[in-house]
Structure 1
Amino acid sequence: MFYKITHYLKLIRVNNWIKNFFVIAPLIFSLKLFIPEATISILITFFAFCMSSSFVYVLNDIMDVNKDKMHPRKKNRPIANGSISIPRAYIMMLLLLILLIVFILFLNYKTQFIIILYLIFNIIYNLGLKKLNLIESFSIGINFVFRVLGGCFAIDVLPSHWIIIITFFSALMLIFIKRKSELKILRSNATLHRSSLRFYSVQLLDKFINISATIVLFGYILYTLDPHVITTFGSPNLFYSSIFVVLGIFRFIQLSETNKYENEGDPTLLLLKDRFIQYVFVLWLICIIFMIYFK
């Protein structure tokens, strides 16, 4: 029984739900972290995005089952290795869709719209956008922006242009690191598994990673120095949290040059694996909450 449950958890990629924590960012930076109603709305939005993203993951695995069977890492996915049949996968998609509907019924219409748009956009991505040069990477960046917008609308706050910029280019940096990892693992077979990889090289992706990382870093620093931000939080000290952002970015880039977590495939999951990144993230979060709420 437990063995079957683990297969279904792998199918819906529970580990990837960590990406939906971007939904929580607006709660922290809107000064509403300790308002129960706002926290509940964010939690419902978080789980709605989890159901939506898992629905898309299952759809993707069904569509790419033949390619996944030949992939060194993806061949272990439940559908590709035969642990879960395609008919059962469709049943899981139906259950996820039902749960998604239940969750969004508790949200305002703006948040509902964003989540539905996110779902439709991802279906379109799987049907064709993922084959297009650069568009596929930018599409994933937009997905992270959808998450942040969902969090903003759930608690009725206007999305800051700073948080949109930082989120988008953070996602781009991570996806380019992922593409680099795929090229290094798959080598000459890369384009057989992802056609868009034929447009990339490790050297080109290094440039994209560095550009995205630079924009994230300067975007964050400029955000902390923005007079409006300083006035809103009543403190100029947010700037000092930049050190943790620098450390995090450097660590991601450092790991992209090694083989330590190469087989993980998704750099976002490094938050679950790499102790250094975990410590930096926790310290950054404590620093932010302390500077914003306990100044």
Structure 2
Amino acid sequence: MTETAPLGNATRPPLLEQRTPPRRVPPPRPRTLTGVLRGLLRAGRPKQWVKNVLVVAAPAAAGRLFDPHALPRLALVFALFTACAAAVYLINDARDVEADRAHPAKRHRPIAAGQVPVPVAYAVGGTLAVLTPAVAAQLASPPVAALLAAYVGMQLAYCVSLKHVLVVDLAVVTTGFLMRAAAGGLALGIPLSRWFLITTGFGALFMVSAKRYSEAVQMAGNAGATRALLTEYTTGYLRFVWQLAAGVAVLGYCLWALEDHHGPHGGLLPWRQLSVVAFILAILRYAVFADRGTAGEPEEVVLRDRALALIALTWLAMYGLAVARW
């Protein structure tokens, strides 16, 4: 009795191999010089250049904004600070390229998306970081150049290690805002008042901690993949920080508004005291977005919300009238 062969053909290839041709991975799109340049511009984050408008804060607070040669000097300082900030953004995004690719929004940044090669980002960022303070020493003043060099050094230290240190990361980012505000005063030789520094510093801390709180809320359960330090903070602690900072900023502004100033007075209304109402309303309106966890980018919050923009413009008008009457 002979054995029968098993049913079917043992040498027949699997059905999937017969019907599915091998998949070809498309080659990456070649980079062009124009595309890389556009990517570098986007990586410099033009939307965040609005932060550098803080360079006019000290001259405006001192009533010196329209002094002769003030605006050209402030425009120069604005451009220099923008170049320094762009250098830091490029180097930071080059270092965080892997973490950014895990983030739902940051993965579209030019470096994370592959539009700008990482070595190019390092080269351009490093060049700007070295040249900008040198240019400031020639065209602005030595104090401005020293401030820009300190800003770049502090921000690069933040990119390398300080952003991984609890509380220090908040202090460094806040100090960056304060440096912007102080740069205009240094450019024009204006002394900075204590109330200006307190209000600006804690107002910046309010926005920075609200941003961190929003990131922690939105990336709950996946925070460590995008910003490792978010796993160290609790949302309760970050809420405490932005609430504390908002309170101190309001207190500092109120003390400025109620302080007895010697100078020309007049007009129909006490604009200094009335500006407190608009300032507090702006803080309260911004706190709505902070409480919801949607205060990710301060400039986008201000530009997106019409009510907040209107309150800010009203405060700016009152503040300008108050300063003009000194």
- How does the TM-score come out when normalised to structure 2? 0.83
Distance in 2 of aligned mates of 1:252 and 1:114 = 30
Distance in 2 of aligned mates of 1:39 and 1:242 = 27
Q: Deviation of residue 231 (structure 1)?
A: 1.8
SS of structure 2 residue aligned to 1:124: helix
Distance in 2 of aligned mates of 1:258 and 1:233 = 44
Q: Deviation of residue 2 (structure 1)?
A: 7.6
Distance in 1 of aligned mates of 2:264 and 2:121 = 47
SS of structure 2 residue aligned to 1:231: coil
Partner of 1:292: 323
Which of residues 196, 215, 220 is equivalent to 2:248?
A: 215
1:279 aligns with 2:310: yes
Partner of 2:96: 64
Q: 1:279 to 1:2 in 2, by over 3 A?
A: farther
Contiguous gaps of at least 5 residues in structure 1: none
Q: Deviation of residue 107 (structure 1)?
A: 1.0
Partner of 2:148: 115
Q: 1:232 to 1:11 in 2, by over 3 A?
A: farther
Distance in 1 of aligned mates of 2:204 and 2:231 = 21
- 1:11-160 equivalences under 5 Å are 11-93=43-125, 96-97=128-129, 98=131, 101-160=134-193
Amino acid in structure 2 at the alignment position of 1:107? A
Do the aligned residues in 1 keep the contact of 2:59 with 2:190 (CA within 8 Å)? no
Partner of 1:202: 235
Q: 1:99 to 1:26 in 2, by over 3 A?
A: same
Which of residues 199, 203, 209 is equivalent to 1:176?
A: 209
Partner of 2:18: none
- How does the TM-score come out when normalised to structure 1? 0.91
Amino acid in structure 1 at the alignment position of 2:86? S
Distance in 2 of aligned mates of 1:34 and 1:233 = 18
Contiguous gaps of at least 5 residues in structure 2: 1-32
Partner of 2:284: 250
Q: 1:224 to 1:78 in 2, by over 3 A?
A: same
Amino acid in structure 2 at the alignment position of 1:251? R
Partner of 1:267: 298
Deviations 1:164-222 (A, max 9, x none): 11111111111111111111111111123222212322222222111110101111010
1:185 aligns with 2:218: yes
Q: 1:233 to 1:133 in 2, by over 3 A?
A: farther
SS of structure 1 residue aligned to 2:309: helix
Deviations 1:103-132 (A, max 9, x none): 442111111111111111111111111000
SS of structure 2 residue aligned to 1:188: coil
Distance in 1 of aligned mates of 2:134 and 2:313 = 33
CA RMSD after TM alignment: 2.1
Identity %: 26
Aligned residues: 290
Q: Deviation of residue 95 (structure 1)?
A: 5.6
Q: Deviation of residue 22 (structure 1)?
A: 1.4
Do the aligned residues in 1 keep the contact of 2:206 with 2:241 (CA within 8 Å)? yes
Q: 1:169 to 1:268 in 2, by over 3 A?
A: farther
Do the aligned residues in 2 keep the contact of 1:233 with 1:292 (CA within 8 Å)? no
Q: Deviation of residue 161 (structure 1)?
A: 1.1
Amino acid in structure 2 at the alignment position of 1:273? R
Q: 1:57 to 1:220 in 2, by over 3 A?
A: same
Q: 1:3 to 1:244 in 2, by over 3 A?
A: farther
Amino acid in structure 2 at the alignment position of 1:213? A
SS of structure 2 residue aligned to 1:115: helix
Do the aligned residues in 2 keep the contact of 1:47 with 1:103 (CA within 8 Å)? no
Q: 1:284 to 1:58 in 2, by over 3 A?
A: same
Distance in 2 of aligned mates of 1:286 and 1:166 = 18
In terms of mean alpha carbon deviation, does 203-212 or 66-75 score higher?
A: 203-212
More helix by share: 1
